[in-house]
Structure 1
Amino acid sequence: MPVESRAIDRSAMLYREPMTTDLPDWREYREQGLSRVLAAAASAFVERGYDGTSIREIASRAGLSVPGLYHHYPSKQALLVGLTDAVMDDLLTRSYAASASAGQGPSAQFDAIVENLLRFHMFRRESSLIASRETENMEPDARAAYIARRDEQQRMVDDVVRAGVAAGVFDTPFPEDASRAVVTMCVAVSTWYRPDGPLSPDEIVRRYLAVARSAVGAR
């Protein structure tokens, strides 16, 4: 069934024993499961940007009349919020699952969380670009809610880097700066990755994970 957004189970938090049930396979990517209205909005926003897309065009792509589209979403802004909610639901669900599957050690958790960020920004490239590029077009309350969820992802990386420094497995003197640099690098993959490019996703993960571990001074 198509979904607009999903509730996130945050029981799989950092530094807990790995859980073996009720966790998604965070490395597995299928269709995103967007409704046809959100899928139509996503394709239009990728091609034309939020400002360049009309409600009439989204309705046409979805096979609906404009009044029919308004039955599902009251505005173009609501469509943007629905898309960014779906992106962050997906990302955070996968991030907590990756963390939980890695066990308690900060080094293994760092590797899993970074790998998840890299894979997400490859396999959810278009929706990730919408979320990152259209923030300025969100109304203030929606923007604040989106940024809070984006900050939640950043804190996961911050926490595991600080834990690694405390445990002596990372030796960066600037854990917060290193953490931000790693996340920025991972997010930027969505701007250049192409499925038909010269590097496979696994090779990109291997190379960029080496760079990320170097940034935090992994031993």
Structure 2
Amino acid sequence: MRATNGRADILRAARNTFARKGYDGASIRDIAQEAGLSLSALYYYFPSKQDALYELITKAFEWYIEHANGVIEDAGDSEVDRVASLIRFVVRYRAQNGLISRVTLRDTERLDPEKYEKIRELQRVSRAILTDVLAKGMETGVFRIENPDLAGRAILSILNSIPLWYREGGPLDIPALERSYTAYCLRLLGYQELAGEFDRLLNLPLNEDGTATFIESETAAVNG
């Protein structure tokens, strides 16, 4: 069911507040102030900041899973094309969604055990999008790896560091990030034909700009 504008506004306020203050440093009152609502109006949607964090992280993972699967499907049957396209998509996703990325990567473990276990399952599903392709590439000899799960974790760890330092308007733009990170990750996988077709992989059609749309655009600044 699609969120109402009010619910989306609160999720956006929760994202901004958690990104700026961290889950422990934020209060439900802070979220209400960010959203421009009274506490009673906010409680109508979310009884606690725990509930707001859980829905925010859940929607982020669900959006990512849906769109990452779409990227894989559009890339065709080649494991190399699929992995290169997915790497480029994740670069865009992490660069375009720094605030929500910081919240999901930093504050997920602040959820209570029941909610956390549900998010862990979404984490496993999202990680399997990459590792399943790596496993097929390992079987066919395209990727020279011994353990697709460990290789997938290594790649995602590299890509997940982007929102920790990337800022729009800095010395590197997103196309430059795509080029560098795609090269790094394919080398990590032992892919041997990189020099011969790297430009082709970077020019594969990618109908995703990476911007998560479930709560609209991000606020540029998180300090203040």
Q: Same fold (TM over 0.5)?
A: yes
Q: Distance in 1 between matches of 2:174 and 2:185?
A: 16
Q: Secondary structure at the match of 1:173?
A: coil
Task: Point out where structure 2 has 5 or more consecutive residues left out of the alignment.
Answer: 193-224
1:24-103 pair list within 5 angstroms: 35-103=8-76
What is the Cα deviation at residue 154 of structure 1? Answer: 1.2
Q: Distance in 2 between matches of 1:149 and 1:88?
A: 6
Task: Point out where structure 1 has 5 or more consecutive residues left out of the alignment.
Answer: 5-32
Kindly provide the amino acid, as one letter, of the partner of residue 184 in structure 1.
Answer: S
Tell me how large the CA RMSD over aligned residues is: 1.8
1:100-111 pair list within 5 angstroms: 100-111=73-84
What is the Cα deviation at residue 119 of structure 1? Answer: 1.1
Q: Could you list the per-position Cα deviations for residues 174-215 of structure 1 after superposition, in whole angstroms to 9, with x for gaps in the alignment?
A: 433222111111111111111111111011011000000001
1:4-15 pair list within 5 angstroms: none
Q: Secondary structure at the match of 1:199?
A: coil
- CA contact 1:179–1:216 (8 Å) conserved in 2: no
Q: Distance in 2 between matches of 1:126 and 1:141?
A: 24
Aligned to 2:143: 170
User: 1:218 pairs with 178, 182, 191, which one?
Assistant: 191
Q: Secondary structure at the match of 2:170?
A: coil
Aligned to 2:3: 3
Kindly provide the amino acid, as one letter, of the partner of residue 202 in structure 1.
Answer: P
- CA contact 1:95–1:116 (8 Å) conserved in 2: yes
Q: Secondary structure at the match of 1:74?
A: coil
Q: Distance in 2 between matches of 1:3 and 1:124?
A: 19
Aligned to 2:157: 184
Q: Which moved more, 1:76-85 or 1:152-161?
A: 152-161
User: 2:90 pairs with 117, 139, 152, which one?
Assistant: 117
Q: Distance in 1 between matches of 2:105 and 2:32?
A: 24
Over the matched positions of the two proteins, sequence identity in percent amounts to: 28
Kindly provide the amino acid, as one letter, of the partner of residue 105 in structure 1.
Answer: S
Kindly provide the amino acid, as one letter, of the partner of residue 39 in structure 1.
Answer: R
What is the Cα deviation at residue 47 of structure 1? Answer: 1.0
Q: Distance in 2 between matches of 1:87 and 1:162?
A: 26
Residue 158 of structure 2 is aligned to residue 158 of structure 1: no
Kindly provide the amino acid, as one letter, of the partner of residue 83 in structure 2.
Answer: F
Structure of higher RCO (CA pairs closer than 8 Å, 6+ residues apart): 2
Query: TM-score normalised to the size of structure 1?
Result: 0.82
What is the Cα deviation at residue 173 of structure 1? Answer: 3.1
Residue 106 of structure 2 is aligned to residue 133 of structure 1: yes
Change (3 A) 1:89 1:34: farther
Kindly provide the amino acid, as one letter, of the partner of residue 137 in structure 2.
Answer: G
- CA contact 1:175–1:216 (8 Å) conserved in 2: no
Kindly provide the amino acid, as one letter, of the partner of residue 68 in structure 1.
Answer: A
Q: Secondary structure at the match of 1:46?
A: helix
More helix by share: 2
Kindly provide the amino acid, as one letter, of the partner of residue 45 in structure 1.
Answer: F
Residue 115 of structure 2 is aligned to residue 142 of structure 1: yes
What is the Cα deviation at residue 165 of structure 1? Answer: 1.4
